[in-house]
Amino acid sequence: MDVLATPTHSFDAVTKTVIANVEGFLDFETFKKICLISVEKLKEHKTGNLLVDTSSLKVMPKENQIWIQGVWFPLAMQAGMSKLAFLVPDNPFGRASMEAANKEASNEGAVAMRYFFNKQEALDWLREG
């Protein structure tokens, strides 16, 4: 798998959480790479916690939303993801497109999922049970 030139992921050892940063307007291939690295990081750190920082997201194209629902969620769940937190954008278009991408998985209830405006609150929730 290609590694992106800019750092997009980190790991919080205290909460055992992989943190992915999704910013601005991302083309489909870049977006996919970030998402697939998240799956690899879940496996690498043997954790089920993922925090996706979409606070700087401008908008998520429909193509990305479809791929998230049909491809990424099954891969992430196979990798052990059990809790997924999002830092949501203030931008209403970014927030709406991000929520639309997660609606189907949220409805299925296979993964505990919550939305936050504050990173520490998200990490606190991920640390719980």
At residue 94's C-alpha, the angle toward residues 104 and 113, to 5°, is: 40
The verdict on residue 47 lying in a domain is: yes
Residue range 23-62, pLDDT digits in tens = 777 788 988 999 999 999 999 999 999 999 988 877 777 8
pTM of structure: 0.82
Q: Which residues contact 7 (CB under 8 A, 6 or more apart)?
A: 21
Domain that holds residue 114: 9-127
Number of domains the chain contains: 1
The verdict on residue 40 lying in a domain is: yes
- The CATH number covering residue 104 comes to 3.30.750.24
The verdict on residue 3 lying in a domain is: no
The verdict on residue 25 lying in a domain is: yes
The verdict on residue 36 lying in a domain is: yes
Which pLDDT does position 100 carry in this prediction?
58
Query: Pairing between strand 49-57 and 83-87?
Result: parallel
Beta strands (DSSP E) in the chain are 9-12, 17-24, 49-57, 83-87, 112-116
Residue range 1-24, pLDDT digits in tens = 334 434 589 999 999 999 998 877
